Amino acid sequence: MIYPQTFAAEVSKNIDAIGKYGCLAMCYLYCVGIRGNETEYIRILSDCMNKGILDNECTVLNASRFLEYVTGKRYEVTKEQFNDLKKVKCYPVHYVYNGRDHWVVVENGKIVFNSLINSQCVTKGKPDTKENTRVIKLAR
């Protein structure tokens, strides 16, 4: 059985935080092959917020735990610096501009996923200068 009213109530209390701060979590979903529609992303992130896997601002508290929860597989996530984004293989990359930041997925130097239709961090900014990338690998 489905409970659309309950679903709507859960989503609506989290929707503002997801819209403002959900970019990294969405990038993680994209990188592990979850490429559903907007509603699916919001449902997953809202569920994770309700369970404390993401905080109330949709911050990824523990990337490995988050990815294991949504996929059932164990992942290792490390922070790394890439000076040449052409070497990046489908990882979240942190962009900054004018005191703001945003995460997108880069593959072979090109942005392949951006959760925003228009991000000044991407169009006017640049990748940050330290640990700008999250490298995701299946755990052994």
Q: What is the pLDDT of residues 20-74, one digit of tens each?
A: 999 999 999 999 999 988 889 999 999 999 999 999 999 999 999 999 999 999 9
Task: Please give the share of the chain, as a percent, with pLDDT higher than 70.
Answer: 96
pLDDT of residue 10: 73
Average of pLDDT values for 92-103? 95
Q: Is the pLDDT of residue 77 over 80?
A: yes
pLDDT of residue 47: 94
Average of pLDDT values for 77-102? 92
As a whole number of angstroms, the distance between CA 68 and CA 71 comes to 5
Provide φ and ψ at 138, rounded to 5°. -60, 135
C-alpha pair distances (Å), 83 with each of 1, 12, 34, 79: 50, 39, 27, 13
Position 10, amino acid:
E
Q: Is the pLDDT of residue 12 over 80?
A: no
**Angle in degrees, CA 71, 73, 74, rounded to 5:** 125
Whose structure tokens read 């970019």?
23
| pLDDT, mean over the chain | 91
Average of pLDDT values for 102-122? 95
Q: Is the pLDDT of residue 83 over 90?
A: no
| Residue ranges making up the domain that contains 61 | 4-138
Q: Name the domain count of the chain.
A: 1
pLDDT of residue 140: 83
